[in-house]
Amino acid sequence: MLFSAFPAPGLYPIAFFALVPLWFSIDRLGSTQAFYAGIGTGICFYLPLIYWIYFTLTKYGGLNALAALSCLLLLVLYLSVYTGVFALAMKKIPVPDGLVPFWGAVAWVALEYIRTYLFSGFPWGLLGYSQYPNLVLIQAADISGVLGISFLLVLANGIIVIAFKHFFQRTWPEKTTMAGLSLAMGLICLGFIYGHFELVKIRGQIKESPSRKISVVQANISQDRKWDKTFIDETLDRYSRLSLQAIPCDLVVWPETAVPFYYGMDPVPSNRVDAMVRQAGTFFLIGIPAAQPSDQGFLYYNRACMLTPLALPKGYYDKHHLVPFGEYVPFKDLLWFAQKLTAGAGDFSKGKTGAVPLKFGTGTTGVLICFEILFPDIARDFVRNGADILTTMTNDAWFGRTQAALQHFSISVFRAVENRRSVVRAANTGISGFVDPSGTILEKTDIFTACSLTRQVPVLSGKTFYTRHGDLFAKACLVAFLLICVIKPMRKKFRRFL
């Protein structure tokens, strides 16, 4: 049921009760059994959710089937530990029935927050992301972020668990239990009420706001030909043709590492790009691999470069949050035996440009490259520094015809709502598209099609509570979770001592 709530299948209402079977069974299990039940639940959730990693590792990582399957299962097992800890916390730290939904929601959000940042972070499949089509509910993300939506979903699951418990026991809840359940239901209703009025307000602001005309180019270059030197001319022909079809516009956006050479260092293909930009007569934001000399030799960066209508570099952003074992090997001295699992991605260094928006005409955009869209702090930093739209560029060709591209695209909806900024997405093989500040998907492409899209995207200038303060709510849940996990056992030991 957890898997079914995510795209695809995309049956997002299931998330409101998907945790009930696990949670309801915990009372009849011992602590160890509860932990294992949580891990089993996690495996059944994450294995179908991210199975596409196996496809990537075998086709592009050069791993045999057994090695790729082992890597996938290790990651799934790691993610499932969080679900196991959730189940263990529900078992080991009993609370009054009226507080069960709140304790469950606090524990779940705390664990999701840890997963977002621990070991570089892998916040794929956070429960709140399942609700990206639920426009009314997700408006609350401008206060609490996506983790606040996870909180409300787990709260709903907890209410159902307590209701089932009393139904099967044929008992009527006590007044304190009813008060707690009423408060929990009230918070969920408040989330929907807030979302309704906020959606109306934001849509009104969008109608009165200025806009920028942006084009995204999806050239559909297959991964096995992307870095083939004999295919460079065909790649540039395709990008040039689609880009010139898209003008006039304020900005043309190409995907991550769209240019399969070192722009500015390889003169012949670089001159072709410059000539096309001058012909188009507008700003271009292009993804390029970049090389810079250093004391240790050349350092390589995954870069987004802004070009003026005269093809002059106006600024650039280097990807800061790299993919472990995909774009670099962490702790190389300790993991000397490890190799990057996707050699075609490049061996990149961590960018040092910071979250400085790039200017095009009178507009500014923050750029999140591929994996960075999963980390809300990066988007926040760009908006706090003056970005009036957000751009994300990616190459999802690695994932083939799996649901990974749609899962990746759906995350953009939350970055738009959290910061009330339009999000422009350019992907090599799709999905490319536009999301407005309310989280509405204005237009998107199919995967593995060559095309360009041009759209007027609204520009809002205010800063939300979430933009200013970040995951304040999630941090509060983390502190509460840690304190309860420490205080409860200490109280028991103290009572025994007395």
451 an active-site residue? no
- CB distance 373 to 408 below 8 Å: yes
Which tokens is 367 given? 């750029």
What is the DSSP secondary-structure string of 30-68?
-HHHHHHHHHHHHHHHHHHHSTHHHHHHHHTS---HHHH
Q: Are residues 135 and 201 in the same domain?
A: yes
Q: Are residues 390 and 490 in the same domain?
A: no
Q: Are residues 79 and 33 in the same domain?
A: yes
For residue 297, the model assigns a pLDDT of 80
Q: Where are the beta strands (DSSP E) in 219-282?
A: 251-253
Give the Cα separation of 24 and 26 in Å (integer).
6
Q: Please, what are the averages of pLDDT over each run of 10 residues along the chain (498 residues)? A: 94 98 94 97 97 89 88 96 97 93 98 95 96 98 98 98 91 91 97 98 96 97 86 95 95 96 93 97 96 84 96 95 70 49 64 94 96 96 97 92 95 98 96 98 96 97 96 97 81 56
Q: Are residues 199 and 268 in the same domain?
A: no
Query: Looking at 112, 198, 256, 418, which residue is catalytic?
Result: 256
Q: For the CA atoms of the chain, what is the radius of gyration?
A: 24
Looking at residue 356, the DSSP 8-state letter turns out to be P
For residue 487, the model assigns a pLDDT of 77
Residue ranges of the alpha helices (H) in 121-174?
135-138, 141-144, 146-169
- The count of structural domains within the chain is 2
Query: Looking at 226, 370, 372, 444, which residue is catalytic?
Result: 370
Domain range enclosing 245: 211-459
Q: What does pTM read for this prediction?
A: 0.93
CB-side neighbour CA atoms (13 Å) of 248: 0
485 an active-site residue? no
Q: Are residues 354 and 290 in the same domain?
A: yes
Which tokens is 87 given? 């189940």
Give the Cα separation of 172 and 362 in Å (integer).
63
For residue 336, the model assigns a pLDDT of 43
319 an active-site residue? yes
Give the Cα separation of 111 and 105 in Å (integer).
10
Q: Are residues 184 and 318 in the same domain?
A: no
- CB distance 122 to 71 below 8 Å: no
Residue ranges of the alpha helices (H) in 433-471?
465-469
Q: Are residues 157 and 236 in the same domain?
A: no
Q: Are residues 277 and 178 in the same domain?
A: no
For residue 335, the model assigns a pLDDT of 46
Query: Looking at 226, 319, 340, 444, which residue is catalytic?
Result: 319
- Asked if the structure places residue 465 within a domain, the reply is no
Which tokens is 340 given? 């990057």
- Asked if the structure places residue 147 within a domain, the reply is yes
For residue 493, the model assigns a pLDDT of 57
Composition of the chain by helix, strand, coil, percent to 5:
55, 15, 30
Q: Are residues 343 and 195 in the same domain?
A: no
C-alpha dihedral (197, 198, 200, 204), degrees to nearest 10: 140
